């Protein structure tokens, strides 16, 4: 009742204050209607956060570009029309300009009624291109002679005009193997599938249909992308002039043909708008809290039996793990000892998705970082992953596990203390080029990049058991007193015993922005240690510092960063990569950029190994060629002459 007595006299004031804010004159922060409408990303079916060049019936055409209209009303999967053929958009990775699409007709029925009208799949003269590593599968219909040479597994039960006729599917290689004459069939349809999926075709009709429904990878690129980059860099949003169908830059005050002019007052106007919106949302939140308090009724607590059973099962799994692995090389502490070493968890260093980290001190005076895991998240698997991985490592660039504690639902990991914290706080502005107390200098950044590469190389091939980390990012790189980098947080790691480090996974893992393409879609290849190479490359590009602020916009800049990087690299080795740093520092930035771009090649086999990355970082910039354009951004299949670096 005390809370109610306190809140009641203030309700009238809060409501009055809210309406005053709602009607504050906003003449100084009004935005152009086109800019305002296109600024907010939209959702289409199961795809969200969509923006230029895509648009839909619910999204004005001037927010997108011709050829990129999505149909959102027919079901949960959006549909795009390419050369009069409808495709399901199964997946869209906007920041990399890649889609996974499948033919709508063949996804619904591999024997569609109008067989005679089935066209071949072609992307010629469209903004879309096939991702390399694909293969055409041939569908043969209305075969005049009995196809006795084709195994039963590959035959398709289709009828033409009510009469059963032979039909089958095959790759070009299978045709030559069977010595089957394709002219025996009246209709031949080509459908692309990823090469990694070809081996699944031998699984019969169900497997074949599954491959068709899963689709194939395409990239998209239009002639407006360079202009779009310049527009975003100037603070605008990309769009299309409805009357001329030409590209236009939607700016806060009005549309412009190419870029937004630099006008005084835009910053203050934008700030005023943010302040008004922020205050309004804050007051609205207070009102919601008040309403919740007044309407709150006590709900009987849920029985803890299910939760206790889950904890018991997790504890049994952990004890089994400890028993199976025998005595570990690190010490096991009582949880009461953990409390003492952390002074009852007094000094909190940070908070993560699976728990909190506290500063502590061992009996011998050594400082430690104690990670206390939340038992309700991860089901105990993160604890097992970290313990299994960290207890097997010993390297200057991998954080050292000193001990652990496991009592019931209480579990903790004890690591060496890193006084300089994590790398992300030194590059969190996304612009370490600017003068800042937190900028370490480019030579130090170069040494940090090299140290991380050495740590990863050790994990991939230096341990008795190979380890794939799966969460390489600045937040998980810790720095000691000498800024020596150490890889930490093995909660998502996987242990490998095979020589090629191929990993079997049931679900994607990692942090958005650093996840390799093959981790979220097996169409790109198999998951392996090369997935860590990709994450490392994205992190190095983060260290270079251009993925957000330097490109000039918060919501779409990641799409245009690679265009900006390649533009700088193609200016020649003698040109400065950035203006206000020395020639030697420019060379370091150029080297880090090229190494990062080599590491984020889309097909895993085209990325260097970590040992090769170390060679590249130790060598001269002149010895490096500009990497092939990242075809998820700029879909242009590299020629064989472009690959002058050995990838093994």
d(CA 47, CA 89): 9
Which residue carries 């009055």 as its tokens? 16
For residue 278, what are the CA distances in angstroms to 31, 45, 282, 289, 491?
Answer: 17, 30, 6, 17, 36
Give the pair of three-digit tokens for residue 21: 């804010």
What are the residues whose beta carbons fall under 8 Å from the beta carbon of 246, sequence distance 6 or more? 240, 257
E-strand ranges in 66-180 read 69-71, 79-82, 85-93, 98-103, 128-130, 134-143, 158-160, 163-170
For residue 194, what are the CA distances in angstroms to 87, 89, 329?
Answer: 16, 16, 45
Max Cα-Cα span within the chain: 90
- Please say if 125 is a catalytic residue: no
d(CA 272, CA 29): 7
| Residue 485: its H or E element | strand 485-487
Which residue carries 């009510």 as its tokens? 162
Q: How many CB atoms lie within 10 A of CB 313?
A: 12
Q: How many CB atoms lie within 10 A of CB 350?
A: 13
d(CA 86, CA 101): 10
Q: How many CB atoms lie within 10 A of CB 625?
A: 13
E-strand ranges in 417-476 read 466-468
Q: Contact, 200 vs 210, CB < 8 A? A: yes
d(CA 533, CA 510): 13
What are the residues whose beta carbons fall under 8 Å from the beta carbon of 546, sequence distance 6 or more? 430, 431, 561, 564, 565
d(CA 274, CA 285): 16
Q: How many CB atoms lie within 10 A of CB 409?
A: 17
d(CA 352, CA 330): 23
Residue of 105, 166, 457, 471 with catalytic role:
471
d(CA 372, CA 581): 42
The alpha carbon of residue 462 and the mean position of all alpha carbons in its chain are separated, in whole angstroms, by 27
Query: Is 371 labeled as ligand-binding?
Result: yes
Helix, coil or strand: residue 614: helix
DSSP string, 20-87: HHHTS--TTS---HHHHHHHS-EEETTEEEE-TT-EETTB-GGGS-TT-EEE-SSSSS-EEEETTEEE
Helix, coil or strand: residue 167: strand
Which active-site residues does the annotation give? 471
Binding residues: 371
Binding-site residue positions for ATP? 371
């Amino acid at each position: 009742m005390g809370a109610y007595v306190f809140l009641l006299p203030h309700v009238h004031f809060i409501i009055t204050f809210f309406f005053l804010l709602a009607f504050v004159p906003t003449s100084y922060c009004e935005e152009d209607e086109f800019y305002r409408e296109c600024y907010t990303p939209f959702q289409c079916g199961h795809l969200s956060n969509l923006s230029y060049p895509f648009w839909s019936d619910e999204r004005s055409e001037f927010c997108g570009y011709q050829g990129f209209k999505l149909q959102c009303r027919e079901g949960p999967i959006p549909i795009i029309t390419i050369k009069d053929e409808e495709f399901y958009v199964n997946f869209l990775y906007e920041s990399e300009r890649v889609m996974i699409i499948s033919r709508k007709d063949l996804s619904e029925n591999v024997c569609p009624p109008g067989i005679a009208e089935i066209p071949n799949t072609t992307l010629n003269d469209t903004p879309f291109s096939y991702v390399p590593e694909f293969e055409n599968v041939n569908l043969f219909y209305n075969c005049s002679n009995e196809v006795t040479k084709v195994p039963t597994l590959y035959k398709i039960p289709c009828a033409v005009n009510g009469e059963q006729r032979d039909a089958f599917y095959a790759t070009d290689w299978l045709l030559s193997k069977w010595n089957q004459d394709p002219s025996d069939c009246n209709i031949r349809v080509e459908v692309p599938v990823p090469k990694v999926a070809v081996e699944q075709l031998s699984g019969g009709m169900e497997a074949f249909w599954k491959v068709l429904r899963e689709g194939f990878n395409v990239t998209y690129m239009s002639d407006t992308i360079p202009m779009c980059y310049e527009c975003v860099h100037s603070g605008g949003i990309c769009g299309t002039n409805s009357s001329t169908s030409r590209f236009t830059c939607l700016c806060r005050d009005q549309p412009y043909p190419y870029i937004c002019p630099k006008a005084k007052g835009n910053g203050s106007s934008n700030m005023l708008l943010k302040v008004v919106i922020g205050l309004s949302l804050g007051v609205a939140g207070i009102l919601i809290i008040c309403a919740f308090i007044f309407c709150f009724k006590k709900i009987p607590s849920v029985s803890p039996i299910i939760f206790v059973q889950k904890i018991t099962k997790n504890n049994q799994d952990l004890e089994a793990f400890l028993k199976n692995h025998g005595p570990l090389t690190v010490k096991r502490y009582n949880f009461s000892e953990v409390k003492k070493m952390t002074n009852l968890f007094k000094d909190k260093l940070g908070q993560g998705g699976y728990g909190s980290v506290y500063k502590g001190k061992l009996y011998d005076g050594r400082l430690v970082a104690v990670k206390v895991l939340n038992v309700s998240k991860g089901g105990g698997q993160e604890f097992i992953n970290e313990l299994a991985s960290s207890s097997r490592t010993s390297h200057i660039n991998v954080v050292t596990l000193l001990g652990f504690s496991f009592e019931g639902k209480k579990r903790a990991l004890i690591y060496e203390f890193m006084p300089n914290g994590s790398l992300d706080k030194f590059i969190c502005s996304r612009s370490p080029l600017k003068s800042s107390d937190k900028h370490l200098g480019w030579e130090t950044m170069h040494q940090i990049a090299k140290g991380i590469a050495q740590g990863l190389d050790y994990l991939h091939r230096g341990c008795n058991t190979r380890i794939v980390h799966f969460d390489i990012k600045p937040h998980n790189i810790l720095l000691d007193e000498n800024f020596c980098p150490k890889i930490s947080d093995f909660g998502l790691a996987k242990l490998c015993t095979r020589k090629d480090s191929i990993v079997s996974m049931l679900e994607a893992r990692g942090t958005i922005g650093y996840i390799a393409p093959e981790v979220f879609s097996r169409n790109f290849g198999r998951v392996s240690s090369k997935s860590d190479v990709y994450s490392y490359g994205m992190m190095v590009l983060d260290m270079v510092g251009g993925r957000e602020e330097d490109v000039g916009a918060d919501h779409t800049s990641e799409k245009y960063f690679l265009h900006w990087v390649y533009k700088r690299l193609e200016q020649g080795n003698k040109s400065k990569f950035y203006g206000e740093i020395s020639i030697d520092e420019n060379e370091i930035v150029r080297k880090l950029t090229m190494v990062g771009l080599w590491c984020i090649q889309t097909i895993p086999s085209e990325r260097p190994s970590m040992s090769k990355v170390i060679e590249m970082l130790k060598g001269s910039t002149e010895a490096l060629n500009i990497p092939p354009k990242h075809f998820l951004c700029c879909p242009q299949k590299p020629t064989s002459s472009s690959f002058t670096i050995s990838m093994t």
